[in-house]
Chains A and B, each alone.
Chain A
Amino acid sequence: MAFTPLGSRKLLFVTGKGGVGKTTIAAGLARALADEGKSVLLIALDKRSEVGEAFGLTRLSFEPTKVDDHLSVMVLDTEAALQEYLKINLRIPIVAKLGVLANALDFLANAAPGVRELLTIGKLCYEVREKHYDIVIADAPATGHIVGYLAAPEAINSFVRVGLIRNQTDWMVDILHDPAQTGVVAVTTPEEMPILETRQLLATLATETKVAVAAAVMNRMPDIVAHGATLGAIDAIIDERPGIFGNEALRGIVTANQLAVARRREADYQFTTLREVVGGAFPIITQPNIAIVPEGSTMAREVADSLREEIA
């Protein structure tokens, strides 16, 4: 079954449980699509995101930093987004007095449910609408938080009945709910908890939002230990340790191989679990673990190189 290529969309939210490498995948995906000649904006939604590091950038700002002609990276800062939002959408000029109001606005963003989320989504959708880039990729919040963002425009609609915000959410919803434009990329590793969280995410996305899933990425898939008869021989050795392999001097060799086999088996099992849930609804992209980045390369480049075939 042929899937719509990831890169044909306009807005991708890359999410995953903490620790599964979603930032790395977001960076690799941005790199790979930029390499195809698309103009890409990668936006980190968390100030503490380390997405810049994947490109060897130490500092990111609200102003996009150009990695090269095709790729820019920025970090979303709620306050800056709010200022931009007020200026563009509500025609409220950036007042010097914002300093005085900053506390109040900060309070509002923290306390009024969804304001922070709405500003974030607003900025992403704004970039899509204005077509400054071919594709916008968000290094999005972790699985537990993403639905709050994706549902924000509708959540706001449910209790803001009039006012400027209300008028502003409809076009965002149009972009978010169009599977040809917007998709979630759910990053996971082939371990129990991340897979469980991914399954919960898929279920929550389906019930609480109308945002489509574009793909799942199975990150850090351990290497295949061996094939066929060779694997059989390794299995026989590590389970039974006959003859020479009972030798204490070979304990490390047996241990390492027991680990390698067990890890791959567990990973295969978890992969199957997810595949059963997904059915054929969207592709599951596998990505090996990248332990070492060669001199002169970047993590984004390494991931992009191994993602390229998978996302075509």
Chain B
Amino acid sequence: MYPATAEMSMSMMTKISDTAVSPTGGLCSRELCRFLSRYGAWLLGSGATCIRLEKNMKRIADAYGKEVELTVMPRHIHVTVYEPGRNDMTTAISSVQATAISFNINTMLSRLSWEVADRKISFAEAERQFEQIITSDTQNRWLVLLLVTLANASFCRLFGGDAVAMAIVAIATAAGYYLKQLLLGRGADVRVVFLVCSFVSSILGATDSLFSIGATPEIAIGTSVLYLVPGIPFLNSFSDMLYRHYICAYSRFADAVVLTACLSTGLCAGMSLMHVGMF
């Protein structure tokens, strides 16, 4: 999830078999391997857990009468496809797609795997649907901005903030999240973005204590940055850990901790600038 801009994932194919078409007349392992490596790169990049990745890829391979073995590394996937009872094997290594977390892509790609398994759609059709899924994921950024603003304001309420605190948190969140969209859109490093956004949001969130207008100023500043907490990476990390994908779990956890550290640094800087004590 690091760089926000999408870049093409690179696949490196190791050619072992020279046959373009499988002798059994079906799909050749190389084609399927190339497809699966891109499929995996997008699925993992859009924030799927390792267990889902394994299940979906095995399901697709099964449907085409192949076996697949894969190694999931934090930033790369190795895919080996072979046909049971034959010596031909194809391996592809692909970089995990650097894209924003998208449960929409995750859902559509999971559904595609069932389309292949249950409806027996052709390989060409599967490829066509795949291309469509990865290019059709659009979102109205203003709507997201509005929803995030409302969400963080109601979060403030959950922690016991009053109406003034909610309003201040809403302003702080709207400004911070708008800045986040703007900076990520320009290709800024996500860690810098977190630092800057939490700094801006915490300064705006400190309005309450600066002018003493509400009864719960400490809640206002405390919740003003919570929209930045990387919740999904934390959840994915622990999910991978439960399924014994320790390397991915550790990597996702480290990513999330680094982002949380950036967030805290921005918050602490904002608070000390405004002379608001947290402890």
Q: Do A and B bind each other?
A: no
Partner-A contacts on B (CB < 8 A): none
Partner-B contacts on A (CB < 8 A): none
